[in-house]
Amino acid sequence: MKNIVVFASGGGSNAEKIMEHFSQNSTANIVAVFCNNSKAGVIEKAADFGVPVVVFNREQLDNGFVLRHLVAFNPYLIVLAGFLLKFPSDIITAYPHKVINIHPALLPKYGGKGMYGLHVHRAVLENKEQESGITIHYVDENYDEGNIIFQKGIAIEECLNPEEVAAKVLTLEHEHYPKVIEELLNN
């Protein structure tokens, strides 16, 4: 059984789908959720699945505190699920090709610093794109520039606002992220 650690910052709907998927699957265990927001909804969702949570602040992310705690969980894979801070290079170096993220657009378009949540979907609409989607990628030292693992598009020409785009893209995230994680674990 392989260990997965999930990093999240907010409500944690993707984290919840991942915990749900692997609670019914013998491929891996979600052994911890790391969260930089002590009021995040993901903390309660992790408790519902019996998954321990490590809460930290930005300074602890950068000063080695998070890496020291992460090592104790012996992760095979680190999954970012709505984690909004830049991931530190010490963790990326310690776990090469073992840190993945999901982005709510078809990279390389609409990626980079500040491109998250409704900011992404607003930019997609303002540029009159006919399609958006998800990109699952490895994490490197730059925002949204790691090698792409998986992409899936969805038509958005009928969407009238960023919230409608977000809803369509979230459906793809929930459907595909747990499955792609499982494929990575099995390869």
58 labelled ligand-binding: yes
Where do we find the tokens 């705690």? 69
Please list the alpha-helical segments (H only) found in the chain: 13-23, 41-48, 58-62, 65-72, 89-94, 117-126, 162-186
82 labelled ligand-binding: no
41 labelled ligand-binding: no
Separation in Å, CA 31 to CA 46, 70, 72, 178, 186: 10, 10, 10, 15, 18
112 labelled ligand-binding: no
103, 121, 137, 176: the active-site residue: 103
36 labelled ligand-binding: no
Q: Is 103 a catalytic residue?
A: yes
Q: In angstroms, rounded to a whole number, what is the distance separating the alpha carbons of residues 73 and 8?
A: 16
Residues shown for the chain: 187
Phi-psi region of 48 (alpha: psi -120 to 50; beta: other; left: phi over 0): alpha
| Known binding-site residue numbers | 12-14, 58, 101
Active site (catalytic) residues: 103
| Known binding-site residue numbers for (6R)-10-formyltetrahydrofolate | 58, 101
